[in-house]
Amino acid sequence: KCDGQVLLTQVWRRLNLIECDYFGLEFQNVPSYWIWLEPMKPISRQVRRPKNAMLRLAVKFFPPDPGQLQEEYTRYLFALQLKRDLLEERLTCTDTTAALLTSHLLQSEIGDYDETLDREHLKVNKYLPNQECCLEKILEFHRKHMGQTPAESDFQVLEVARKLEMYGIRFHKASDREGAKINLAVSHMGVLVFQSTTKINTFNWSRVRKLSFKRKRFLIKLHPEVHGPYQDTLEFLLGSRDECKNFWKICVEYHTFFRLFDQPKPKAKAVLFSRGSSFRYSGRTQKQLVDYVKDGVMTRTSYERRHSRTRTSGRALTTELPKQSPNTDTDSWGSEAESPLDVFCGCRKETPAVQPGPQEGPARPKMPSGETPAEGAVALPPDHDEDKEGGVDGVQPFGGQHPQKATGSKQGSAHLTPLTSSQQAGATPTSLLVTLGPAERGSSPLLSPVLSDAGGTRMDDEEEPKHKGTGADEAYFIAKEILATERTYLKDLEVITVWFRSAVVKEDAMPADLMTLLFSNIDPIYEFHRGFLCEVEQRLALWEGPSGAQAPGSHQRIGDVLLRNMRQLKQFTGYFQRHDEVLTELEKATKRFKKLETVYKEFELQKVCYLPLNTFLLKPIQRLVHYRLLLRRLCGHYAPGHHDYTDCCDALQVITEVTSILQHSLVRLENLQKLTELQRDLVGIENLIAPGREFIREGCLHKLTRKGLQQRMFFLFSDMLLYTSRGVSGTSHFRIRGLLPLRGMLVEESKSEWSVPHCFTIYAAQKTIVVAASTELEKEKWMHDLNNAIEAAKSGGNMTLALPGSAVCVPPRRPSDEVSLEQESEDDAHGPHSSSEGQGQHRANTTVHVCWYRNTSVSRADHSAAVENQLSGYLLRKFKNSNGWQKLWVVFTNFCLFFYKTHQDDYPLASLPLLGYSVSIPREADGIHKEHVFKLQFKSHVYFFRAESKYTFGRWMEVIERASSSPGKA
């Protein structure tokens, strides 16, 4: 007659289970579907025959990333749940994946591979329904897990399983309005719809305004912003009212657990009669649970588990608790205890008294036990007003709280909407996507970063990060570079998969077919890299931990992780090859749909979009090139006999094959991206993106006019040379001044004719101009690229561009030896295009603006080299005249340093473009008496940065030196 919470509390105490809110007790009712025991309702009112009922412990909430589980013991129980799901055919997967999972479970249970013992064990212990068919595969996989501890095996089980589409999925049979048989399920991201085992739709929590049921009908009411003028309520029919209500309750609990910070308050009891169900989730939310464990409210006890060679008869996973006291289990899982894979409800070594957490204790208000049989409904914002239309928009988390980050389905259907949270508590896109005004950018963002001394954590010398003894091994720092750059790369993917998707969904700005093309192409890549990052983090944690130090070589390796994931990455080649189609279709759609163009431009002004938006679409292929570079470094570091050498070489071979296939696509993509970016920055030219046109160089030159030398921005393409002037003040556009076709062009040095240093003359078919570079090296670069392009254009086709307006029309033909001294200045930019120039602000850290401010140029070869020159990591920074050092997360990409407080931040605090900067080691006069410090200087702007190791210092010097001073005639 007690409430369910009494029994649950007894179980949690018996198991000494800290992260208990992930679990529940389930039982079968007469129709044989499983029901969760409710904490706030008497057991006698839930279980029909309590004395004869069997309740079993099970995982109730499956987090998207098992790495969020804090306790090794919790991960062990999760692994056992997945073992049960495999046996009960809930975790649908291929035979190869099932064999891999089984091999990890086998390693966890009996230890290292021994063919005789393995076969004996698998005869009496069943892991898979068709185990005999997969036996050889299981043994083959198990052979590869030598030296893997039980904890590592559990982690691998979770890592493999979480990538499966059926991870944590529990089907509820239903039918749609047309009577078609479907399966409903719920996950951390929302309500899922399956046809057989194929997911056909996802209704993210951000799209749903209310969930309700009426008899056998389950109803999902969508936000008006999502469904538009069409159907706003979706209806599904389940087998009975009880089944419908059961599924509704599970949805309510999942939503509360994953989406809210605090559990909702109980509904006030009606005085006379009530309408609707009083059911609410009564435990801790995931956010509360994580904070509770981190705060160490409960006294932690040691939990160790060893491999057991003891053979036991195969028992069901619902075995009763061990009868002996847990204190007698002196060997973790000693001879008296059951095998840990046979006993689900395992125990820790000790069972001290549990301090009541938020889920326990008498202070919790009790839910009314009575429920109205007619109908139940809950509106998902926390006020529970089921008829209220306001509250939350289409992309915000319910209740304005959203501690978890996730994305939508891999299917990429038009109905799919992502979750749009930040990993940091309380950070939502609507609060982070703040438009940068001119005041926030500063008058010249290229000359001095806005990050002040207060921008980062000040560190005194005593607080320097010190490495734990693995510093002598260069492989460790290469592995750390892989981890650091992977974190940045995943954040870059989220700019598209989370933030941009939220923006277009909120405004309903993107056509459904383009949504499908874009997100079905990038979502699977994002999901893969989430898993890869977790694996690398886990391996580095082992490498740095005491176990890695005590047993050199056992965990001090990264090749096996890289090889496994590079092989998986090879399967995404088709996705990578479609990126140019995605980029092209996105560009076409922004021209066709004014609303999408507006959203696109506004999004590029947000802090989270720290680079031009289409740059992020190139990141997946560019990351492959980066993997190749890092693997080459690893292979070059290891001796052939090293235990990690073979795996690294194999991984390098795999990624080299992939990059070779995609090399042409990458070149084409980079060119298309650059043309698209310039199309937005240049005013007065149409159809810059033309078949066969290739970008070659952009940069600043001074052109001789009647008013003397005037600064101009030049753009060299495979068929023409454009020169532009800066637009009216307050905009970042460049207005076309002239177009010179390359056919028939001639370039000559002009040292004696004009008293101007570093000048040369360009003779075109219709005019002749004299230009001067900033340095002799800049002049050589321009002349070299111009002459090569002229030679290539002789055999190419003749392209024409539309140059609307009289201000930019091509002047009449002049004699080839006559120099055009144009009557122009910065003041005559108020031409017919000045209105279009001022239509909107653009972020001013693209290379075109950097070249303008720094009086330099960048070539296509420089852009290609920059793909490999990407780096992330923590650095200590010091200004020239400041004391102490600031610890900052620094990202180097696109010739620019971006500064963050931590690697978890969603957008940078400031940026420092490095074109024109020099990098060197501090001199004695600088007064820097520290190791691994490099100096950045541009004119009077000086910064000092300190790395953690000799290797890291060398890498930062290398990439910055290659980016800050262009590689000449590369």
Three-state DSSP at 485 gives helix
pLDDT at 903 over 80: yes
Separation of alpha carbons 746 and 530, rounded Å: 53
- Among the residue ranges 37-46, 228-237, 414-423, 919-928, the one predicted with the least confidence is 414-423
pLDDT bucket at 802, cuts 50 / 70 / 90: very low
Compute φ and ψ for 525, nearest 5 degrees: -65, -45
Three-state DSSP at 890 gives strand
Residue range 44-85, pLDDT digits in tens:
888 877 777 889 999 999 988 887 888 889 999 999 999 999
Strands (E), 440-579: 457-459
DSSP 8-class letter at 318: B
Q: SS3 sequence, 733-786?
A: CEEEEEEEECCCCEEEECCCCCCCCCEEEEECCCCEEEEECCCHHHHHHHHHHH
pLDDT of residue 45: 85
pLDDT of residue 632: 92
Separation of alpha carbons 526 and 531, rounded Å: 9
Three-state DSSP at 358 gives coil
Three-state DSSP at 935 gives strand
Residue range 929-938, pLDDT digits in tens:
889 999 999 8
Strands 746-749 and 734-741, sheet pairing: unpaired
pLDDT at 604 over 50: yes
Token couple for 202: 């996802």
β-sheet bridge partners, residue 236: 218
Is residue 388 a contact partner of residue 379, using CB atoms and an 8 Å limit? yes
Is residue 645 a contact partner of residue 638, using CB atoms and an 8 Å limit? yes
pLDDT bucket at 485, cuts 50 / 70 / 90: very high
Token couple for 333: 């899982």
pLDDT at 347 over 70: no
DSSP 8-class letter at 50: G
Torsion sign, CA atoms 813, 815, 817, 819: negative
Is residue 833 a contact partner of residue 884, using CB atoms and an 8 Å limit? no
Q: Token pair 């068929």 is at which residue?
A: 719
- Among the residue ranges 272-281, 380-389, 532-541, 902-911, the one predicted with the least confidence is 380-389
- Among the residue ranges 258-262, 780-784, 907-911, 956-960, the one predicted with the least confidence is 258-262
Separation of alpha carbons 19 and 289, rounded Å: 7
pLDDT at 876 over 50: yes
Is residue 213 a contact partner of residue 373, using CB atoms and an 8 Å limit? no
Q: Token pair 């995605």 is at which residue?
A: 582
Mean pLDDT on 623-631: 91
pLDDT of residue 566: 92
Separation of alpha carbons 698 and 679, rounded Å: 13
- Among the residue ranges 103-112, 201-210, 412-421, 862-871, the one predicted with the least confidence is 412-421
pLDDT at 225 over 80: no
Where does 95-187 have alpha helices with state H?
A: 95-110, 115-124, 135-143, 150-162
pLDDT bucket at 837, cuts 50 / 70 / 90: very low
Instruction: Report percent pLDDT > 90 for the chain.
Output: 21
- Among the residue ranges 167-171, 501-505, 794-798, 852-856, the one predicted with the least confidence is 794-798
- The segment with the largest mean pLDDT, out of 200-204, 248-252, 313-317, 379-383, is 248-252
Residue that wins the pLDDT comparison between 953 and 366: 953
Separation of alpha carbons 340 and 305, rounded Å: 9
What is the separation of C-alpha 418 from the centre of its chain, rounded to a whole number of angstroms? 13
Separation of alpha carbons 858 and 915, rounded Å: 9
pLDDT of residue 721: 92
- Among the residue ranges 116-125, 555-564, 711-720, 745-754, the one predicted with the least confidence is 745-754
β-sheet bridge partners, residue 695: 717
Residue that wins the pLDDT comparison between 320 and 555: 555
Where does 301-414 have alpha helices with state H?
A: none
Task: Report yes or no on whether pTM surpasses 0.75.
Answer: no
pLDDT bucket at 381, cuts 50 / 70 / 90: very low
pLDDT bucket at 956, cuts 50 / 70 / 90: very high
pLDDT of residue 965: 56
Token couple for 256: 């509360």
pLDDT of residue 306: 63
pLDDT at 670 over 80: yes
pLDDT of residue 394: 26
Domains of the chain, each with CATH number or no CATH? 4-162 (1.20.80.10), 172-265+277-284 (2.30.29.30), 474-672 (1.20.900.10), 694-794 (2.30.29.30), 870-964 (2.30.29.30)
Residue range 415-450, pLDDT digits in tens:
222 333 333 333 333 322 223 333 333 333 343 333
The number of CA neighbours under 13 Å toward the Cβ of 22 is 26
Residue that wins the pLDDT comparison between 227 and 393: 227
pLDDT at 736 over 80: yes
Separation of alpha carbons 346 and 80, rounded Å: 10
Mean pLDDT of the chain: 74
End-to-end CA distance of the chain: 82
pLDDT of residue 268: 55
Give 332's contacts (C-beta < 8 A, 6+ positions apart). 303, 304, 305, 306, 349
In degrees, to the nearest 5, what angle opens at C-alpha 401 toward C-alphas 397 and 407? 45
pLDDT at 603 over 80: yes
pLDDT at 881 over 50: yes
Mean pLDDT on 694-722: 90
Q: What is the CA radius of gyration of the chain?
A: 32
The number of CA neighbours under 13 Å toward the Cβ of 845 is 29
pLDDT of residue 495: 93
Separation of alpha carbons 944 and 931, rounded Å: 12
Length of the chain: 970
Separation of alpha carbons 320 and 56, rounded Å: 9
Separation of alpha carbons 35 and 55, rounded Å: 10
Residue range 6-32, pLDDT digits in tens:
999 999 999 988 888 899 999 887 666
pLDDT bucket at 493, cuts 50 / 70 / 90: very high
pLDDT of residue 415: 29
Three-state DSSP at 34 gives strand
Is residue 234 a contact partner of residue 208, using CB atoms and an 8 Å limit? no
Concatenate the DSSP letters of all residues of 233-297 into one string. EEEEEESSHHHHHHHHHHHHHHHHHHH-SSPPPPPPPPSS---S------S--HHHHHHHHHTT-
Separation of alpha carbons 855 and 700, rounded Å: 5
Per-residue CA distances from 421 to 259, 335, 407, 587 (Å):
10, 48, 9, 27
Cβ burial of 215 (10 Å; 0-12, 13-18, 19+) is: middle
Concatenate the DSSP letters of all residues of 780-827 into one string. HHHHHHHHHHHHHHHSS-----B--SGGGPPPPP--TT--------GG
β-sheet bridge partners, residue 375: 214
pLDDT at 337 over 90: no
